[in-house]
Structures are given as structure tokens and as C-alpha cells.
Homo-oligomer: A and B are copies of this chain.
């Protein structure tokens, strides 16, 4: 039991769970998501639900909500709508990604593509994109433009990644270009829109944009590492998917630069055997690639951290800071 007056907000210092400090807002996002995927066509709802209620971490909504609250944002409904839109866009791209990669597993479950087939999965992805814009389209021109730009960058990132598929010429700089577009753009837009809708100054909005971009890059780098060292039980997907699909992940790029023969062979091969992939993963593990990728991730996490020091302190700023740590230390 707590003596004295009930304390509604946790103190300003110390490690704060970024999720619990915006728990109420996140609950509203969940309600929005459930409502958004209702359709007279039950298959659309079923497939969308398979992913929406399939264990997403909701990191993009959390970034958006924390950025909003940190700058004193009050109109909860607005920020919840845009956080919903961003999660819907993310989910739509996951559905379309699974088709592109022919993925059989997603978040520890059979992928929608495997379970429901190409057609239904493709159309459900479109449906989620549309629902996202239903939420985002209510805002002013600036927010609509930023959201549309983020989505356009997502598709450009997909294209660029396709260009470097099984392409051993890929460099770290190419990788950054892909990741900035494909992954960081939604983090970036969430953070930027959060600050903007809270009425933050243009310079603060730009800072939050930088925070989101660096956090997103760090996030993707760890995702790439987990694909090489993660365990299927924890991660919900088998390791080595990037090698199987020929996606230029960061450890793969570093290993290619180390001239790891097994990695080059598996990466270049259009249908590498499980044995080839195992050998390549072993080779990556023996070299410095994983360590280098983790170190790159830490580098971008520090850039995100540096921004945090430049924004006003609050309980939510602590959440933004903890989120950076959680993201680079995660094993799922």
C-alpha cells in the first residue's frame, strides 16, 4: 500500500518502462486497430487479425505516443489515430513482404501468405494501407504529406533492397540507404508527427525526426543480428532467413567484406540448401561480422541518445531513452 496522496505519474528520473508510461494511449491504439480491421468480408478481418493480434511489439506507436507526450501533447484522440495509422502501414508492409519473400513463418506463426495464399494476403495488405489512410487522412496537409512521404520511402526502400538482392557488391552505405527508407522512415515519421501535433517548435520536430531515424536504424541492425544469432523459440522465426531470401543484412554485408566464402556462396545462390545456410551462419559466427553489426547498432543508438539530451526532460523522455536501450539489448 502506498501512503500519502496517490501519485499519478512516476518520478522524472530512473529507468522507465516506455510502454507502461503510455499504457492508456496504447490501449486506445489497440481498440482502434481492432475496429479498423472490421470488414463485411470476414477473410479480410481474419487475415488482418492474424497479424494485428499476432504479437506485434507496437514499437512505432510507442515512439509516436512518447514523442507527443514529451512535448506536452494533450489531444489523445489525435495522436492515437496517427499511431494507429503507422502501425497499420507497418502491418500492411509485413503482409506484402511475406509475399515477396515467400515467407512461411512470421512472429512464430505460419505466415498469412502460407496460410491464406497470395491473393487474399495481397488484398488484405491493400486493405490495411487504405485503413491507415482513413486514420491519417483526417489531419492537416503537413501530417498527410509526411505520412505519405514515409510510405513512399518504404516502397523505395523495398525496391532498393530488391536491387541488392543476392548482390555481393552491396556496401554499408547501400545498406543505410535501404534501412533509412524501409525501416527508419516509420519511426522517424512517428516521432516527428508526435512532436508536431504536440505543438513542439520546428527545431524540436527536427530533433525528434533525427531520434526516430537513428532509433529505426539501430532497431533494424539488431533485427539483422537476431536473424543470424537468434533462436527460433525466442524470435518466433527461424534464423538465416536473410541468407535464404538473399536480403543484404548487416552481418551478411560485413561477412562478405571479410571474404567469408560460405557466406558469399549462400548469399549468391538462388536456392541455398539448409546445409549451405548453416555453414554460412557458422562462418558469420566465427568472424567479426556480428560484433561489427552490434557495434554499428550501438553507434546509432548513441546518436538517438544524444538527441534525447537536447529535448526537454519529462517522464516520457525517460521512456524514449529506455526504449533505445531496450531495442539494442533485445533478444526478440
Contact = CB atoms under 8 A, between A and B. Distances in A.
A151 B122 contact: no
Contact of A133 (B118, B148, B155, B163): B148
A100 B39 CA distance: 21
- In the complex, the count of this chain's copies comes to 2
A122 B99 contact: yes
Task: Please tell me the size bucket of the interface on A.
Answer: 35 or more
A136 interface: yes
Interface stretch (A23-31, A68-76, A137-145, A263-271): A137-145
24 contacts: A39-B152, A41-B159, A43-B162, A44-B155, A44-B156, A96-B122, A96-B123, A100-B119, A119-B158, A120-B159, A122-B122, A123-B155, A124-B155, A126-B126, A126-B155, A127-B152, A129-B129, A129-B130, A131-B152, A133-B133, A133-B137, A133-B148, A134-B148, A137-B145
Contacts of A44: 155-156, 159
A100 B122 CA distance: 8
Contacts of A160: 41
A134 B134 CA distance: 12
Given A137-B137, A138-B144, A148-B137, A130 B118 contact: no
